[in-house]
Amino acid sequence: MKLAPLDITSNIDNTITKYTNVKSTKILRTLQLFIKMSVKIRAAYTNSISTSRIIFTCLAAVIVRYYLMLSKYQTVIANHVEVSTPLNSWKRVSEGLYLISKNINPYEGDVLHETPLSLYLYKNILLVFQDRIHLAFITFDVATAIILFFTTKKFNWDLFVEEENNKETFAKDAVECFLKPEKLFKSSYYVLLTYLFNPFTLFSCVGYSTTVFYNFYLAVMMFCMVHGISVICGIFLALAASVSFYPVVLILPVTMYFKYAIKSNFKIIINLFSFITTSVLIMLMCTDFGKDFSYIRNVYGCILTVPDLQPNIGLFWYFFTEMFEHFRELFIYAFQINNTILYLVPISLRFRKHPFLLTVAINFIITIFKSYPSVGDVGFVLSVVPSFPHLFPFSQQGFLVGTMLIISTSLAPILYYLWIYCNSANANFYFGVTLSFAVAQIFLLTDLLFSQVKRDYMLKYGKNRKIDGEEGILCLE
């Protein structure tokens, strides 16, 4: 009969307690920590997911995407406003590339909202894949999932090591809150599954949404962040910011990760230098070294001023359709501040010791409040949520959030069809669904953050809710 890992560690504790003295306690405790971690890691990896299973999962995702892209449903999916927006529509990219081939400036009209650098990358992708552009989207989408898998795997490993090193500082009755390696190390596979078979990311890929490439930039940035590769992290953060502008605020959580998780001020400086240098180079390339700035109005002007009021899953289009024109500038400032700097400082200060969670949270805020969101953006942030299995026991809104997401996702295309094609509904119906969709994401984000607060409290004070003789109150301050 094999001895369970918990029995092994308890025997180690008894043996060390029996044979230690005052002088050798520190050395033996370090040895104890090393042995206990080895036992737990071995037990976790015994039950971990095999490489063949990961490969099979990726192949299944490729087959599903390939089938849908060659089916009659591809056009239907690509034409839905939940999937394609003015900023990520492949039709607009194709038109822009055609205009360039005829030596016509694609930014003279109001059709194209991609940067010149993005057009150059798409042009080269077309040259590589030729008529099989669907293979390019599948390749980048599956690559994003694999990168997220290794990102969360590294994050969970670092989290486990940090907690093992600090266990002596935790409350004695907080054992049930400790990380369980057999669950923690499997969460990266659940991230892979969630991204590959999430309907949001699946439809984004099938619908030829350029959000697939944007998600790839974010995934590489997060991978380099957790692995401490500061130069490439800054480069891909600059690429993501050049596409959507909003990711520029991610420089703060990335900086905090290098400071509190990796503990390297040198990497912070290198990352900032890499980000600024790459941003300047991108601007020079896009403006043909200062000769043509016309793309700025079509790309960043469109993101910031919201001139195209085509319905989407965001909150901007309805407000700016209904309001009086002389209030437009006021609401533009209010909405954009809400999405960029309003929550950035307080949430960064509160969760500075949890920089990976902070990065995911700010990505969530960007997705909810950006001017032209799509289901591809939502799918990306939802796929990272399984990397926090240690927070799930403290969450309380899971059923409510899941129900709201399913219902609003199902009703959105139905109400849009009734509004646009059948004239039996109006904009209020569709906006009600998009508002419910945004509220569900907000509930999920706040529940995730509050779960971290609860867990921190339990680790520090245990089950006892009294602090200095008074009843403690948990809050997000």
31-40: pLDDT as tens digits? 555 555 554 5
* Alpha carbon 399 to its chain's center: 21
Of 468 and 41, the structure prediction assigns the larger pLDDT to 468
| Residue 412: band (very low, low, confident or very high) from pLDDT cuts 50, 70, 90 | very high
Residue range 131-149, pLDDT digits in tens:
889 999 999 999 999 999 9
Residue 27: pLDDT over 70: no
- Which residues are CB-contacts of 106 (< 8 A; sequence separation ≥ 6)? 95, 96, 99, 100, 112, 119
Identify the pLDDT of residue 457: 86
Residue 366: pLDDT over 60: yes
Numbers of helices and strands, H then E, in the chain: 22, 2
> For the ranges 6-20, 106-120, 335-349, which has the lowest average pLDDT?
6-20
Within-domain flag for 13: no
When divided into structural domains, the chain yields a total of 1
Within-domain flag for 40: no
Q: In which domain, by residue range, is 203 found?
A: 51-471
Helix (H) or strand (E) holding 149: helix 133-165
- The 10 Å CB-count burial string (b at 16+, else e) for 423-434 is eeeebeebbebb
Computed over every residue of the chain, the mean pLDDT equals 86
> For the ranges 190-204, 255-269, 284-298, 378-392, which has the lowest average pLDDT?
284-298
pTM: 0.88
The angle at the Cα of 39, spanning 36 to 41, to the nearest 5 degrees, equals 105
Identify the pLDDT of residue 188: 92
Q: Are 83 and 376 in contact (CB under 8 A)?
A: yes
Within-domain flag for 30: no
Distances (CA, A) of 135 to 55, 143, 301: 18, 12, 32
Identify the pLDDT of residue 32: 54
Residue 428: pLDDT over 50: yes
Rank 22-31, 45-54, 69-78 by mean pLDDT and report only the highest. 69-78
Within-domain flag for 1: no
| Residue 476: band (very low, low, confident or very high) from pLDDT cuts 50, 70, 90 | low
Within-domain flag for 438: yes
* Alpha carbon 302 to its chain's center: 23
Identify the pLDDT of residue 425: 81
Residue 25: pLDDT over 60: no
Residue 272: pLDDT over 70: yes
Polymer length in residues for the chain: 477
Identify the pLDDT of residue 5: 44
| Residue 426: band (very low, low, confident or very high) from pLDDT cuts 50, 70, 90 | confident
Residue with tokens 């209030």: 327
Within-domain flag for 222: yes
Within-domain flag for 157: yes
> For the ranges 153-167, 287-301, 314-328, which has the lowest average pLDDT?
287-301
Within-domain flag for 2: no
